[in-house]
Amino acid sequence: MKLKRTLLFIILISNFAFAQNTVKITNNYGSENREIQDVIDFENIYIERLNFEGGQLNGKYYEINIQEFVKGKLVHKELLFDGAETDFFKINSDKESLKFFFKMADGKLKTYIRGMKFGSKKSYFKLQDDSDKYALKDFFGSKEELFLDINSQQEIPVFAIITPTIHKDGSGSYCEVVQSDIKPENLGTHFKIPHYFLITMKFKK
């Protein structure tokens, strides 16, 4: 009985510590206007807002990067936004929202990030396949919210821009890729995706 109580105490402490170090992430996709969304889809534009909530956000900065993978290897990494450049971008509450814009057209990926206090520069990256084959996917799957440890100082993948994995019968799947348990940096090797991008975030003091 004493051992069971000790184990229960350890579990409760571990869960409390995890909760103290994590933030909740929810998302909103696209436009609520059906006609506008139809145009967005036609133009191969993706808009998704990430909402962060948790006491650990207060006093933090965030850094957003894009990583490019070719044949399973990281070949390029580029900074899209660094809030640590000035205290103006420091998070001063327990909530933060960021809106991400992506467009795949004319052989290029175009990125733009909009926050409450800023709009990032527009960045462009060359695509290696038909623009219409690329799609933006997040890592929510069927979940309505995610919980992430932002004190780890590690880069957290929040989006993947991928072409589908192709099955032996010729059919393809996007969701199968990002809803798997495969680490984002290993998606190319496991699913035989020759070229894709990851959008990552890192929170720092």
**100-159 pLDDT, tens digit each:** 999 999 999 999 999 988 999 999 999 999 999 999 999 998 889 999 888 777 899 999
Q: Which region, left, alpha or beta, applies to residue 67 given φ > 0 means left and ψ of -120 to 50 means alpha?
A: beta
Alpha carbon of 51 to those of 45, 93, 182: distances in Å?
A: 20, 13, 24
Mean pLDDT within 41-66: 94
Identify the pLDDT of residue 180.
86
Phi, psi of 102 (to 5 degrees): -135, 140
Sign of CA dihedral 116, 117, 122, 127: negative
Say what the pTM is: 0.86
Rounded to whole angstroms, the Cα distance separating 38 from 31 reads 9
Q: What pLDDT, in 10s, does the model give residues 153-202?
A: 789 999 999 998 888 887 888 888 888 888 999 999 999 999 999 999 99
Rounded to whole angstroms, the Cα distance separating 196 from 162 reads 5
Q: Rounded to 10 degrees, what is the CA torsion of 127, 65, 30, 185? A: 70
Identify the pLDDT of residue 3.
45
Identify the pLDDT of residue 175.
81
